[in-house]
């Protein structure tokens, strides 16, 4: 069974944002340099339905699928990040030894899992009893995973709309980056952000 440090379930806006921040840490922090991240995504991000006209810094009229493709490419550009198309059906185990199983019966091991599975249907054995109506649903039928500030247990995180963020690109992406910095901070032992600084000419 292949082992990863972190498995992110869902490769939409928040999952990819989380992976990009984690990936960017590898070249900056010794503790992050050997961490391997797997993103498993079922390919049904809400962003696929969007045309973007109101996200700070993103050109008006940008097509959602185009933006998602760009984010996936950004995530894959980090050597320690792997993206996989698949649907996770169960998560079992405890911190340091989670087993993640997909619909096609592939299994992976992880120290940490991050649920980034959006606000549509959340159906993963192991967390189903934590699924509740979404606290910021724009329409009925949306769901989220009950959590405490993005955590649902030791080594188990939830991010983006699945954690209760509003259905907006910026909030989902921001939550993903926050989850990544929360995880990185557990590695460093102090709150840590990953910044690049403008070089002087």
Ligand X SMILES: Cc1cc2nc3c(=O)[nH]c(=O)nc-3n(C[C@H](O)[C@H](O)[C@H](O)COP(=O)(O)OP(=O)(O)OC[C@H]3O[C@@H](n4cnc5c(N)ncnc54)[C@H](O)[C@@H]3O)c2cc1C
- Residues near ligand X (CB under 6 A) are 9-15, 40-47, 49-50, 52, 54-55, 87-88, 116-118, 124, 160-162, 167-170, 172
Beta carbon of residue 18, minimum distance to ligand X (angstroms, whole number): 9
Instruction: Decide whether 30 or 60 has the Cβ nearer to ligand X.
Output: 60
Which of 59/198 has CB closer to ligand X?
A: 59
Q: Which residues of 35-57 are buried (b: 16+ CB within 10 A; e: fewer)?
A: bbbbbbbbeebbbeebebeeeee
47 DSSP assignment: G
Q: Please give the Cα distance from 145 to 68 (Å, whole number).
A: 23
Please list the residues that pair with 156 across neighbouring strands: 113, 153
Q: Please say which residue, 12 or 23, places its beta carbon nearer to ligand X.
A: 12
Minimum distance of ligand X from residue 70's CB (angstroms)? 14
Provide the minimum distance between the beta carbon of 33 and ligand X in the complex, in angstroms, as a whole number. 26
Widest pairwise Cα distance in the chain: 55
SS3 171: helix
Closest approach of ligand X to the CB of residue 196, in Å: 24
CA-closest candidate to residue 80, choices 29, 118, 125: 29
Minimal CB distance residue for ligand X: 12
Closer Cβ to ligand X, 31 or 131, answer by number: 131
């Amino acid at each position: 069974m292949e082992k990863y440090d972190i498995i992110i379930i869902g490769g939409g806006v928040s999952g990819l944002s989380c992976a990009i921040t984690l990936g960017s840490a590898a070249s900056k922090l010794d503790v992050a340099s050997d961490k391997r991240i797997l993103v498993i995504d079922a390919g049904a991000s809400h962003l696929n339905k969007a045309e973007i006209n109101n996200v700070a810094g993103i050109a008006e009229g940008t097509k959602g699928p185009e933006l998602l493709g760009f984010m996936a490419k950004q995530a894959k550009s980090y050597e320690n990040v792997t993206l996989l198309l698949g649907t996770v059906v169960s998560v079992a185990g405890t911190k340091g030894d989670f087993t993640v199983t997909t619909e096609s019966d592939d299994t992976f091991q992880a120290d940490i899992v991050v649920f980034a599975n959006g606000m549509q249907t959340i159906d993963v054995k192991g967390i189903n009893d934590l699924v509740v109506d979404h606290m910021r649903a724009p329409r009925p039928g949306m769901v989220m995973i009950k959590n405490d500030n993005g955590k649902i247990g030791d080594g188990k995180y939830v991010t983006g709309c699945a954690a209760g963020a509003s259905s907006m690109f910026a909030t989902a992406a921001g939550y993903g980056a926050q989850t990544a910095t929360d995880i990185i901070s557990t590695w460093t032992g102090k709150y840590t952000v990953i910044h690049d600084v403008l070089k002087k000419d």
